[in-house]
A and B are shown apart, each in its own frame.
Chain A
């Protein structure tokens, strides 16, 4: 039996939890789990309802892909691709930036952004060190490309995984609806980056020769595992494209791929499972429970009513509001809790106003994913690269990032808005 006090408690716990997550004073996973535990402890929701609130499709998809990537990266294939590209660019800085940005964008569409950045950034640091160049003009385009590339697919960025899981929109839905605009945004961003960094960097022939001395074949550590990994990764991606036809959830596809590769690789599963981002998985679980509590007490429904009242159920206004609010919010706060809250909100808006909510999902995906480029704290990939640079003599400051990232984010959202207006609303 829910009372008014449950509503107040849920609202206070939720707001305090989010405030602590944003402040980053306490580890975000610890705060999210504590917030969820308080909801349970104060009987705002039952344990049964809390567990039902956890979206295990999102969790399963994340775990499955993490396992596949953890095994695949052991083969050294990502290092191979990066060295090969740097050599094909003949050590030319701008060509390396361009090729690494393309690699990052494509990888990020197929893997998650954080993993992509963790693979490409260390290689970039070695390459820029060899060329005796500042790594920031290389790393910043990679971060921006990771966030842009990840927007294109269901599995590219956690917000998309959550949206896909909550709505039943599949891999091809994301690819066909978001892919075209992402390609346009990427080309425009590359053009802007060329203007910023194209002429700034120069390298003498001696340093270029060092790059040409790299041997990409040394990077491959296990050819047999490489074959198995690439076959399984390829089949998993084909599985994603077909999952709706065969009525499989995306998590099922990822978990089948992961378990097959675990068996084929003959690596002790303990070694692989220890490498997974369990803090992220538990962060998701905590957030799902928190948002579930808000839904249960009726707060989400009340906010949806206000939104429908403000926009008068107008699809155009609602879509614009969602994409811009999502983008600005995601530039400065974690987009995962934001999207976790927006998903039930959009569902409620759809139920109350009878408007077609599909454009709203694309608006949310574009805003939340591309918004991450707005500031240094906008996405995990950004924070990781800044942290990695702290071990070098270079610093990527909040201001340095925002000078490039924020205008690019605004341009990306303007293009996305135009795309949504022309094709959806």
Chain B
């Protein structure tokens, strides 16, 4: 199996090199982590490599990059908190809606990227999208002030 992977890497290497890329092939371990929270699958993927950089991403129930960490303890801690929060969130009556909204937001980012990269988008259109996003952000901030906080082990990073 490793032979085929090597051959595949060699092929990618040549294509990308000819496109002008610099490629570093690093031996690493890819870890797939899955939790089953009463029927809801929460999955993560992270990469352990010799450079001590850990790329963590939540892939289910919706994709969300969690960033780069300097140690495996940080990765485990992030997953631990995330799972605790999801366990908590599962008790909410609007959990399904929460997942649905996040999926829609991810889809919206892709939609906007396609719009911008495939079409010549006028300034007014971009401004209009930006103002709608601002509206959503304001709703979130307003809700934060009016809703009861339920998780205290860690403070929110973006609110």
Contacts and interface: CB of A to CB of B under 8 A. Distances in A.
A122 B3 CA distance: 12
Contact of A118 (B6, B14, B27): B6
B17 interface: yes
Interface in A45-94: 76, 79
A220 to B, nearest CB: 10
Nearest to A390: B4
Contacts of A218: 17-18, 20
B78 interface: no
A123 B14 contact: yes
A333 B10 CA distance: 29
Nearest to A121: B7
Given A215-B18, A219-B17, A384 B7 contact: yes
B11 A122 contact: yes
B8 interface: yes
Contacts of A126: 11, 14-15, 18
B76 to A, nearest CB: 25
A79 B17 CA distance: 10
A420 B53 CA distance: 60
A388 B7 contact: yes
Nearest to A387: B4
A166 B101 CA distance: 70
Nearest to B19: A218
Interface string B79-101: 00000000000000000000000
B4 A384 contact: yes
A274 interface: yes
Given A271-B27, A274-B27, A122 B7 contact: yes
Interface residues of A, number: 22
Given A271-B27, A388-B4, A118 B17 contact: no
Interface string B2-39: 01101110110111011010000001000000000000
Contacts of B3: 114, 118, 277, 384
A384 B6 CA distance: 11
Contacts of A76: 17
Contacts of B18: 126, 214-215, 218
A391 interface: yes
Interface string A209-220: 000001100110
A342 B73 CA distance: 56
B27 to A, nearest CB: 6
B116 to A, nearest CB: 29
Closest 4 CB pairs of A and B: A122-B11, A122-B10, A126-B14, A122-B7
Given A118-B7, A123-B10, A126-B11, 5 more contacts: A121-B7, A122-B7, A214-B18, A384-B7, A388-B4
22 contacts: A79-B13, A79-B14, A114-B3, A118-B3, A118-B10, A122-B7, A122-B10, A122-B11, A122-B13, A122-B14, A126-B11, A126-B15, A126-B18, A215-B18, A218-B17, A218-B18, A218-B20, A271-B27, A274-B27, A384-B3, A384-B7, A387-B4
